[in-house]
Chain A
């Protein structure tokens, strides 16, 4: 079965507001990455975490391997944040860097 369960599947935010995306893992994961897929289909690396929390501008991500989840927080959403967000995790140990992706969250930022 799916090892990565991502929620919500879709999210609408007004400009200036914020929310959180979450990925739950059904097996032990060694590291997690978060990506934004833009309208042209390109995957943009947002975060790579083996543990803890990282912050970059209006984005913050946490990975808790013991409790098997990761979150991506977006604050002060802007129109250009619209797109599909994916988490992807590598099972560990010995995962060969094979990333298992979540189902994605389609984010729409509206004026």
Chain B
């Protein structure tokens, strides 16, 4: 099936530092998403993004979080500064349209120490 690629698969970072998680969505998809999962538990929606803009964000999408996709390159999630509670697996996803199937990457495990 369609592949969403996430780089890196695992990142360890010192608390207070900045981290950028990279996502290469399915090539013809137009809608992009980030989700957060702690310890294999429930997946939580963070944000969705279309046409260069955030459409909707959840209360988990703190002020320290930002997303962008400059010039059609990687779709990124930046956390600056990081906090211990940001440790989780972050999944990127994409879809062709609004009312279409969503495909997920394999996740980036972020560990803040």
Contact = CB atoms under 8 A, between A and B. Distances in A.
Nearest to B56: A96
Interface of B is mostly: strand
Interface in A87-111: 88, 95-104
A10 interface: no
Contacts of B31: 97
A38 to B, nearest CB: 10
Contact of B106 (A30, A40, A48): A40
A96 B43 CA distance: 17
Contact of B101 (A37, A48, A98, A100): A48
Contacts of A48: 101
A103 B43 CA distance: 8
Given A86-B43, A97-B33, A98-B56, A31 B103 contact: no
Q: Taking each of B44, B48, B102, B107, which has the highest tally of chain A beta carbons within 10 Å of its own beta carbon?
A: B102
Given A98-B45, A99-B45, A104-B42, A30 B104 contact: no
A33 B41 contact: no
Contacts of B44: 101
Contacts of A41: 40, 89, 106-107, 109
B29 to A, nearest CB: 11
Given A45-B1, A98-B56, A33 B102 contact: yes
Interface string A28-56: 00110101010011110100101000000
Contacts of B55: 96
Interface of B: 1, 31, 33, 35, 40-45, 48, 55-56, 89, 91, 95, 98-104, 106-107, 109
Given A37-B40, A101-B35, 16 more contacts: A33-B102, A40-B106, A41-B107, A42-B107, A43-B104, A43-B107, A45-B101, A48-B101, A97-B99, A97-B102, A98-B48, A99-B102, A102-B42, A103-B42, A104-B40, A104-B42
